[in-house]
Structure 1
């Protein structure tokens, strides 16, 4: 009778981890492997010499913790996907608006190029330098500038800059290399198959959505 009771108790203990394991069976290979090893350890106990109850409780606690972590990871992935979808919808609504982005290259056309940069300290001479693929450079001097934000507007016709693609950088006698922000009209939003979002701007071309630094809204037209 004693042996029967112990055997029955061991079977009941085995059913308990089986039920817990079933709850996380769909959580992926790592979780399933962990569960399989843990359940096998509990099932293969000697019924006449069962494991310490506190050890058994600890094993079930580990099983529950694994399930909770798997659920948390799944929820986090779902939230990230939802946030990305909301971002894409918000950006789609901005098509036709003026957007500022960080960039190291621009696409020059007939319209003026508008941008800005930030100086950590003042300089007696700051310049915007545009370099073409053939090595031709156009230097637009902005004169002395104090520390802080510096805006610029470059008219291609005035400076004789031919349409095309140019690298852009800032030169100063303070040997600073500030990032350049350029404004342009958002033409379209592309959703990459890898999960990223790409923007098409008239003054830059294609750029990652993570490069956005500001939204200026739509231009007002005078009648």
Structure 2
């Protein structure tokens, strides 16, 4: 009659300790990072050291093989996802390089204006506005021009500033704020403005975050905040 000796039990415990310590073959990983190779070796060690008088049930081996297959599939999936993430970051880098030096339309209240060329922006009108205005304010907080847009229906109302003040004098180029207001149902209401800005550089985002556009006026914003990309 065949019996299980102490040597057999000792060999199994030694094999188990070797696998879980992460020192099998060329592996140097710890117990917290058991992979499919370690899992398979554990299964083989278990089969080699099972009690011949009471062998493990076949269904249990099948269940363990199914777990091994699932583990391998998840590891392969993780590798594929990492590869896709790398390709996505490369695509972002390509997009970023094409944006530098270009003009974008962003949700902002101020922007850097070349007064020799003027500027065109938009005010978001949520509902019909009977009186719509845009105040142009310089860096000192002084209102240098008020643009009268009249009555506007719901939507985006475009406005153009030629870089001149109310007296017709061309102002110095620099940073200007644009304060849009509308009369909605008889109530004076501040309106959101979309203004052009030039992208001076791009900061790539880390994992899980989008890249950031650094604008010529010193501000920055996420790519997702861009309303329109111009030339």
Q: Match for residue 63 of structure 2?
A: 55
Normalised to the residue count of structure 1, the TM-score between the two structures is 0.64
CA distance in 1, matches of 2:133, 2:40: 69
**Structure 1 runs of 4+ off > 6 angstroms?**
1-4, 28-31
Q: Match for residue 208 of structure 1?
A: 221
Aligned-partner SS, 2:200: strand
Q: Match for residue 153 of structure 1?
A: 160
Aligned-partner SS, 1:173: strand
Q: Match for residue 107 of structure 2?
A: 102
CA distance in 1, matches of 2:85, 2:199: 30
- Aligned residue pairs: how many? 198
Where does structure 2 lack aligned partners over 5 or more consecutive residues?
none
Where does structure 1 lack aligned partners over 5 or more consecutive residues?
218-223
Deviations 1:64-101 (A, max 9, x none): 23213311321231122122122123324xx3x54323
CA distance in 1, matches of 2:227, 2:95: 14
CA contact (8 A) 2:132 2:149 kept: yes
Q: Name the one with the larger helix percent.
A: 1
1:116 to 122, 134, 137: 122
CA contact (8 A) 1:199 1:207 kept: yes
CA contact (8 A) 1:113 1:154 kept: yes
Which of 131-140 and 51-60 deviates more? Answer: 131-140
Which of 77-86 and 36-45 deviates more? Answer: 36-45
| Alpha carbons of structure 1 residues 89 and 190: separation in structure 2 relative to 1, 3 Å | closer
CA distance in 2, matches of 1:2, 1:73: 50
CA distance in 1, matches of 2:166, 2:31: 62
Deviations 1:128-161 (A, max 9, x none): 2345565444543321112222111123323376
CA distance in 2, matches of 1:187, 1:149: 23
Normalised to the residue count of structure 2, the TM-score between the two structures is 0.62
